């Protein structure tokens, strides 16, 4: 019979866990603090440890690390009271088997314990535990990934694991689902965090420019190349190269990229010297690569090289439970940026946001909140300050469409003109900032300014 060690400073919790677990046929032993718990790990050799995170004396992460000094393969499950992503990532990084967020139900506990025991049985497939002393880095604080839905939690765990192994990762998800944010987290959460992160958007460059961008070129290799240039692979060193919109690279570049991945070296365009490639590749796409492979547009061999590990980001409409937390997160983030103090959410606002279908996903939600904050006159995020994407609203019927604000405008062009003008004014006609907020390129913004004859007042 398997033995489970329960470490929790609160007696009620220990009793509750003991009852649930003994009903499942496990033997339980208990400790009221980390020190005593570690003694029991030594003397009793439990099969699993369930430990509270916040306790007087040692906290759960310290227990984890001490327990692993005694037995590196002992599954430790952390019980945590917060939906704290940084802690989650960190606990998985330092080798926790899993975590359970309080309050959890009997089924969750059962499944987690069951999985942990299974994993011991199949322990041959477990990675060696790598000790890592990352203290919560600023990058983690800046790039908070919000999400409590099961799919997002699974992604957090995977980020923790991947960040410690330099495998190539393919991130798939619709536009605005957070692919770049995930790439940054993988880079900054683990072993690559002190090395460069280099981002290349594969869709914005022509074939030859992209190649010289990736691999660099030597002077005179093509018209206009007046000096040697280092490519992104070289600049990434032993860090990360993030290839965004990977589906857009040409067949030729695909062949070259495949070669780099296979041989771990490359040459500059027009150059002869061989340069080693040590970077981890994270690729992202919002197109279905398997479909493109069937159409003969994307190489299957390259696909498999890139997707050593895959992260699939669900669209926002499939994780509506996260909308509230995302709104709160964006209010915090954007209040700070714009020196505003919108700290309340008005009646019906969450319902309204949850019934929208968010074609533009989290980015669209962020922009919606941003516009509302910029427009706000008090400390409330209310329905009237929110402009949902009108085109989508018009496609919808019924109650939601009824709520669409700005009905007084006639055409989409009117709305667009008004909106662009408003953002430009808010940004004091700083076009870089305005195009960022509007999520369009500078040339597009300029074209719109001309089209609508907008002038700075």
Ligand X SMILES: Nc1ncnc2c1ncn2[C@@H]1O[C@H](COP(=O)(O)OP(=O)(O)OP(=O)(O)O)[C@@H](O)[C@H]1O
363 makes contact, choosing from Mg ion, ligand X, none, with CB < 5 to 8 Å by partner type, with ligand X
Q: Residue 256 Cβ, how far from ligand X at the closest point, in Å?
A: 23
Q: Tokens in use for 261? A: 């991945």
> Does residue 160 touch ligand X according to CB under 6 A?
no
Neighbours of 144 (CB within 10 A): 15
Interhelix angle 34-44/60-70, rounded to 10 degrees, is: 20
Q: Residue 311 Cβ, how far from Mg ion at the closest point, in Å?
A: 13
| Rg of the chain, C-alpha, whole Å | 26
324 makes contact, choosing from ligand X, Mg ion, none, with CB < 5 to 8 Å by partner type, with none
- From 344, 391, 338, select the one nearest 364 (Cα to Cα): 391
Number of residues written out for the chain:
457
Q: Residue 180 Cβ, how far from Mg ion at the closest point, in Å?
A: 4
Closer Cβ to ligand X, 28 or 168, answer by number:
168
DSSP 423-446: HHHHTTT-HHHHHHHHTS-HHHHH
CB contact at 8 A, 202 and 282: no
> Does residue 364 touch ligand X according to CB under 6 A?
no
CB contact at 8 A, 132 and 190: yes
**Which residues make Cβ contacts (< 8 Å) with residue 83, sequence separation at least 6?**
101, 148, 325
CB contact at 8 A, 35 and 58: yes
Choose which of 51, 158, 172, 177 interacts with ligand X (CB under 6 A): 177
Neighbours of 376 (CB within 10 A): 19
> Does residue 364 touch Mg ion according to CB under 5 A?
no
Residues in 310-329 that interact with ligand X by CB under 6 A: 326, 329
Choose which of 286, 335, 355, 392 interacts with ligand X (CB under 6 A): 286
Number of residues interacting with ligand X: please give it, by CB under 6 A.
Answer: 18
Closer Cβ to ligand X, 110 or 363, answer by number:
363
Q: Residue 100 Cβ, how far from ligand X at the closest point, in Å?
A: 21
Q: Residue 179 Cβ, how far from Mg ion at the closest point, in Å?
A: 5
Closer Cβ to ligand X, 279 or 369, answer by number:
369
Choose which of 17, 64, 116, 146 interacts with ligand X (CB under 6 A): 146
* C-alpha–C-alpha distance, residues 140 and 182, integer Å: 11
Choose which of 60, 75, 173, 239 interacts with ligand X (CB under 6 A): 173
Q: Residue 329 Cβ, how far from ligand X at the closest point, in Å?
A: 6
* C-alpha–C-alpha distance, residues 139 and 117, integer Å: 34
* C-alpha–C-alpha distance, residues 240 and 188, integer Å: 10
CA atoms within 13 A on the CB side of 114: 9
Of the ranges 95-103, 141-149, 203-211, 260-268, which one interacts with ligand X (CB under 6 A)?
A: 141-149
Choose which of 31, 77, 89, 145 interacts with ligand X (CB under 6 A): 145
* C-alpha–C-alpha distance, residues 422 and 410, integer Å: 17
Closer Cβ to Mg ion, 8 or 180, answer by number:
180
**Which H or E element spans position 345?**
strand 344-345
Q: Residue 35 Cβ, how far from ligand X at the closest point, in Å?
A: 37
Residues in 167-186 that interact with Mg ion by CB under 5 A: 180
Binding residues for Mg ion, per CB under 5 A? 180
Binding residues for ligand X, per CB under 6 A? 144-147, 173, 175-181, 286, 326, 329, 362-363, 366
């Amino acid at each position: 019979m398997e033995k489970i060690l329960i470490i929790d400073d609160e007696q009620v919790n220990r009793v509750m866990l003991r009852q649930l677990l003994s009903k499942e046929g496990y033997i339980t032993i208990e400790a009221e603090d980390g020190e005593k718990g570690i003694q029991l790990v030594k003397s009793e050799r439990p099969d699993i440890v369930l430990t509270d995170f916040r306790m007087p004396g040692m906290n759960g992460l310290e227990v984890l690390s001490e327990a692993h000094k005694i037995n590196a393969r002992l599954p430790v499950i952390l019980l945590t009271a917060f939906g704290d992503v940084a802690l989650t990532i960190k606990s998985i990084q330092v080798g926790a088997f899993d975590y359970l967020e309080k309050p959890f139900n009997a089924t969750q506990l059962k499944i987690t314990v069951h999985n942990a025991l299974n994993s011991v049985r199949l322990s041959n497939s477990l990675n060696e535990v790598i000790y890592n002393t990352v203290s919560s880095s600023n990058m983690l604080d800046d790039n908070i990934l919000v999400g409590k839905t099961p799919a997002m939690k699974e992604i957090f765990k995977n980020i923790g694991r991947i960040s410690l192994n330099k495998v190539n990762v393919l991130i798939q998800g619709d536009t605005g689902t957070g692919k770049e944010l995930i790439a940054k987290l993988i880079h900054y959460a683990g072993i690559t965090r002190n090395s460069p992160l280099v981002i290349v958007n594969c869709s914005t460059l022509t074939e030859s420019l992209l190649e010289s961008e990736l691999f660099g070129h030597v002077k005179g290799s093509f018209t206009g190349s007046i000096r040697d240039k280092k490519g992104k692979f070289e600049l990434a060193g032993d860090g990360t190269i993030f290839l965004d919109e990977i589906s857009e690279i040409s067949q030729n570049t695909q062949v070259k990229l495949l070669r780099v991945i296979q041989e771990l070296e490359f040459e500059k365009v027009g150059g002869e010297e061989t340069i080693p490639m040590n970077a981890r590749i994270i690729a992202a796409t919002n197109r279905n690569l398997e479909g493109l492979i069937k159409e003969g547009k994307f190489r299957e061999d390259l696909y498999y090289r890139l997707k050593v590990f895959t992260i699939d980001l669900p669209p926002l409409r499939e994780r509506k439970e996260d909308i509230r937390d995302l709104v709160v997160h964006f209010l915090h983030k954007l209040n700070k940026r714009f020196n505003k103090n919108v700290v309340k959410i008005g009646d019906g606002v969450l319902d309204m946001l949850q019934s929208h279908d968010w074609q533009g996903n989290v980015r669209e939600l962020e922009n919606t909140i941003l516009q509302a904050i910029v427009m706000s006159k008090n400390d409330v995020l209310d329905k009237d300050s929110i402009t949902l994407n009108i085109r989508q609203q018009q496609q919808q019927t019924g109650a939601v469409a009824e709520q669409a604000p700005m009905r007084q405008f006639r055409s989409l062009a009117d709305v667009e003109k008004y909106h662009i003008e408003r953002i430009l004014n808010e940004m004091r006609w700083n076009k870089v900032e305005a195009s960022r907020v509007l999520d369009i390129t500078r040339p597009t913004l300029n074209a719109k300014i001309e089209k609508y004859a907008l002038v700075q007042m």
